[in-house]
Structure 1
Amino acid sequence: MIRQRFTKHPSPLAKRKRRLFLLRLFFLALLSATLLALFVWFARSDNFRIKQVEVAGTAITSPEDITTLVLQVLSGSYFGVVPRNHFLFYQKAPIEKAILGAWKRIERVAVESKDITTLVVGVEERKPVGLWCLSTMEESRPVFSNECYLLDQEGFIFAKAADFSGETFIRYYGKVAAPDPIGSYFLTPAAFKEMNFFFNSIQKLNLVPERLFVSVSGERELLIKGGARLFLPKDADLGDALENLELALKDDAFSEKAEDIPFTLDYIDLRFNNKIFYKLR
């Protein structure tokens, strides 16, 4: 018996579907390649890349130095394709972090786009409220140096001070945690704010703070303009110390004019809660 072999040929409809599928696949690949090429052109085109940086808010920090740093942060690319300085793909956080790390004087940074080729970097510099100065101990007594650094309102040491020979700022002496004082805190921010509130308050009593020394053990000695000294509690609330000081100055021993007290008083010791000790010269 002879068997015949038949070859099954695709129908015209199947051929048509196959051609349509291949055609769609071709156009999809062509579209993908075109979109990829357009994306690469868009990403790498100089027309959409940040080339200029405007810096606002500086008083001492050099705007040119900030501009140079920003452009350095924006150099290079993501995965070797997308430039970091593209106006759609640049990241603010690395710029802000780099600026704050490079200049401790700068407290806040804001980065915004002005247009597709220009960034605006706004900075706020710290304002000095005092000086932290070096000191050493010789024969169990502190020796005060004139090498000083600027402090802000939280006790943050942010820059080397110029040669201040006048009485512009209160001077603070005492150890800080890090070998390099810049970037360190003198006291905690809360303790420093409380201390400055105390200083502002006693000026109403004609006691003008001149120098605060904090020993390694935390003892605090405040020198008043005129030579008087206040021994302050190291842990207790300075609000209580202020009340005790006001009470002490009402004693008959201080019956002279208030402005003369800093020159006739040797010290007042406020370290022992409600017990107040003082000595006149």
Structure 2
Amino acid sequence: MGHPVQLVHLDEEGGLTLDKEALSRCLEHGGVGDAPVCLVSIVGVKRRGKSFLLNYLLRRLRSPDARDGAWMGREDEPLEGFEWRADMQRVTNGVWAWSQPFWVPTEGGKVAVLLVDTEGSMDIERNKETSVKLSAMSMLLSSYQILNISNEVKDPDLEYLEMFVHVAEEVGKEYGLEPIQHLDLLVRDWSNSQVFGAEGGEQHLRHVRQMLEATSPCKHPKALEVLSRSSSYCYLMPFPGKRISTGSEGTLKERKEIRRALYSLPIIRLPPLRRHG
């Protein structure tokens, strides 16, 4: 069934170390070989449900043919996979991946999908440079990047996205890597309207771009460039219930809002894929 594996460690000075052997084991597990690989990564502020969401993505990938939400699991089934808990303490340190790739059929053949979890950014326990480096590394590694945001896209979110993209671009030039292949803004706990999912996200993203374009000079030009690409999307997710943030096992029976929130998200589409060498 697989388990979480730490790919990037941080030392006391904030330096990043990639565990190449761990990454190789993840890529080689299940006979990946030279098949196309898609890394789905999520970044964002700590304690805002990144690992929680990844664990439901694990369930979805384990049940690719399930219908009518059956992939969400039993009503009383605890949410397991990447470590998570409902409190204010940081759980994820560095960058982690699921050891077991999931084979997803596409028009060009099967693709090995790996899920990647990243330590929360904008954490006062970490300096800004370390947070930016972690998120930029996640963007460079991923084929499909999810930026997890609370309530609505705000100026601090755009500021950090600007820094993530800048660092990813500079590092990417050295290794010939595209800094962002595909970007989704996932706005959690949306309460400004009753329009959720892709439809509400398209409206909100259009508003954010218009706001950036209205300033001269543009305050966050790199963020605007990325958000204007055809490979960038936005989705709005309603509040899953107070129980989730105050103590929970993540079971569906706890709050009907969990099911409602998950139903507001489309099944992830695979982006253009990067082969590993």
Higher strand proportion? 1
Q: Quick check: TM above 0.5?
A: no
- TM-score normalised per structure 1: 0.22
Q: Which of these two proteins has the greater Rg computed from alpha carbons? A: 1
- TM-score normalised per structure 2: 0.22
The higher-RCO structure (CA 8 Å, 6+ apart) is 2
